[in-house]
């Protein structure tokens, strides 16, 4: 009987409804394809290009002495040329991704999440020949001695943004329940942040947790859970820093780096000297004295200190304003996105850039305890720059299909 019912021909009304539904679906697909051919958001693109170019100029200035001494005077442009190659690749990737209909990125969400977990586990396997250790931290995978090296945490950041955006966009009121709005995402964040934290890479774990939490908040979770999470995070931070004493020396040197300015407080004290030496107008582009092997990581995590020294308070403020404009424009694009998925994806990408910029500048200026975190578009790191520019491509892709804004 069941087989006979399935074979029963459709009535005329049913056939018409199916045809109408298919026609509406084809219209939506056609509309989406037409919208995907629209222009990208020019202000956002200009800000990205401007920050990348300024970042390359400052990297050249900051890395010149280190490259000169490390290559015995043979290639003082070593860091600059490698970063320049990745910048060109990143720009190409950004423009290419920006032309793709962002709805296609949904298909990458789950595979990319699984891949990031596998890569993070590979980093932690003892005596893994493709796991690379630097400064007592194993954060990289690749071939030692070559340029083929990357941080799996960078892949994990993108995976969190794509997966959370895709999954949350399919839920509405369900996000206000613990089972659907908190539990699955909390498990993912704990697993990813835990694996990254074991490297150890505390700043990377914070970025993953921060981006995921913001997407959950924007997705519509109950504010009561937000308060509980903040309280739990505060208690955990107190236990880790105050009771267990994780990185206690860093906390102590954060409070007073001058207590051991030639030892554990050396990096922060030299950073503060660099910032103070710049004054209002700076000593001039390329004329930093601290970059001559006084300030550690001057072309990487602490490049902003060289920016302050060479360009002064005014120059550093202009660069911070450019970052602020990029972040605000990103959130503006999210507000005008055509659908929930695009809006969430832009929020996630923009939050990553904004949070990383805040943490880096906070560390360099002594506002936050010293931890290894780079400045987007400025710090040396080819794969990181490539990933950041690719993420900007996601934003440009969404901007092609923005809702029209009212004039005036």
- pLDDT digit string (tens) for 20-77? 777 666 666 555 555 566 789 999 999 999 999 999 999 999 999 999 998 888 889 9
pLDDT at residue 276 is higher than 90: yes
pLDDT at residue 2 is higher than 50: no
- pLDDT digit string (tens) for 360-371? 999 999 888 877
Q: What is the average pLDDT across 269-297?
A: 93
- Distance (Å) of CA 126 to CA 109, 198, 204: 29, 12, 21
Pick the residue with more confidence: 167 or 148? 167
Q: What is the average pLDDT across 181-202?
A: 89
pLDDT score recorded for residue 8: 64
pLDDT score recorded for residue 167: 94
End-to-end CA distance of the chain: 65
Q: What are phi and psi of 139, to 5 degrees?
A: -120, -5
**What is the average pLDDT score of the chain?**
86
> Which H helix or E strand runs over 260?
none
Lookup: tokens for 241: 């820093």
As to burial, measured by CB atoms within 10 angstroms (0-12 exposed, 13-18 middle, 19+ buried), residue 163 is buried
Lookup: tokens for 32: 């989406």
pLDDT at residue 238 is higher than 80: no
CA distance 302 to 295: 8
Output the CA torsion 369→370→372→373 (10° steps): 60
The answer to whether the beta carbons of residues 109 and 163 sit under 8 Å apart is: yes
Q: What is the average pLDDT across 323-351?
A: 96
Looking at 115-129, 231-245, 248-262, which range is the least confident one?
231-245
pLDDT at residue 287 is higher than 70: yes
CA distance 128 to 115: 17
Tell how far CA 164 is from the center of its chain. 15
Contacts (Cβ under 8 Å, ≥6 apart) of 351: 210, 211, 214, 215
- pLDDT digit string (tens) for 94-144? 999 999 999 999 999 999 999 999 999 999 888 888 888 877 778 888 877
pLDDT score recorded for residue 137: 76
Q: What are phi and psi of 378, to 5 degrees?
A: -115, -50
Q: 115-122: long-range contacts (C-beta < 8 A, 24 or more apart)?
A: 115/155, 115/159, 116/152, 116/155, 116/156, 116/159, 116/192, 117/156, 117/191, 117/192, 117/195, 119/152, 119/155, 119/156, 120/152, 120/153, 120/156, 120/192, 120/195, 120/196, 121/195, 122/152
Confidence of residue 1 (pLDDT cuts 50, 70, 90): very low
pLDDT score recorded for residue 406: 55
Q: Where are the beta strands (DSSP E) in 56-148?
A: 131-134, 137-142
């Amino acid at each position: 009987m069941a087989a006979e019912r399935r074979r029963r021909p459709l009535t005329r009304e049913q056939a018409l409804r199916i045809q109408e539904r298919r026609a509406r679906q084809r219209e939506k697909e056609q509309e989406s394809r037409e919208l995907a051919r629209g222009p990208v958001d020019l202000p956002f693109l200009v800000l990205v290009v401007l920050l990348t170019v300024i970042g390359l100029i400052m990297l050249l200035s900051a890395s010149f002495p280190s490259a000169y001494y490390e290559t015995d005077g043979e290639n003082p442009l070593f860091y600059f040329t490698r970063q320049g190659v990745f910048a060109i690749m990143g720009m190409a990737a950004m423009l290419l991704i920006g032309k793709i209909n962002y709805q296609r990125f949904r298909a990458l969400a789950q595979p990319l999440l699984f891949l990031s977990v596998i890569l993070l586990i590979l980093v932690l396997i003892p005596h893994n020949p493709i796991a690379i250790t630097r400064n007592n931290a194993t954060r990289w995978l690749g071939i030692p001695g070559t340029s083929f090296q990357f941080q799996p945490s960078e892949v994990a950041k993108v995976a969190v943004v794509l997966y959370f955006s895709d999954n949350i966009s399919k839920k509405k009121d369900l996000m206000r329940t613990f089972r659907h709005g908190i539990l699955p995402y909390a498990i993912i964040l704990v697993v990813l942040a835990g694996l990254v934290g074991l490297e150890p890479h505390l700043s990377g774990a914070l970025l993953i947790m921060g981006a995921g939490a913001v997407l959950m908040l924007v997705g519509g979770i109950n504010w009561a859970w937000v308060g509980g999470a903040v309280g739990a995070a505060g208690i955990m931070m107190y236990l880790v820093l105050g009771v267990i004493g994780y990185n206690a020396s860093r906390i102590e040197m954060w409070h007073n780096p001058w207590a051991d300015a030639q030892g554990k407080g050396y990096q922060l004290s030299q950073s503060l000297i660099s910032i103070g030496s710049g004054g209002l107008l700076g000593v001039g582009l390329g004329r930093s004295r601290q970059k001559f092997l006084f300030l550690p990581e001057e072309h990487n995590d602490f490049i902003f200190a060289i920016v302050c020294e060479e360009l002064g308070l005014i120059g550093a403020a202009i660069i911070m304003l450019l970052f602020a404009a990029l972040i605000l424009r990103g959130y503006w694009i999210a507000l005008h996105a055509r659908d929930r998925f695009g809006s969430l994806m832009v929020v996630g990408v923009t939050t990553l850039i904004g949070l990383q910029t805040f943490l880096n500048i906070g560390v360099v200026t002594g506002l936050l305890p010293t931890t290894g975190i780079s400045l987007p578009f400025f710090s040396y790191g080819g794969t990181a720059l490539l990933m950041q520019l690719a993420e900007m491509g996601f934003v440009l892709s969404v901007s092609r299909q923005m809702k029209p804004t009212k004039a005036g």
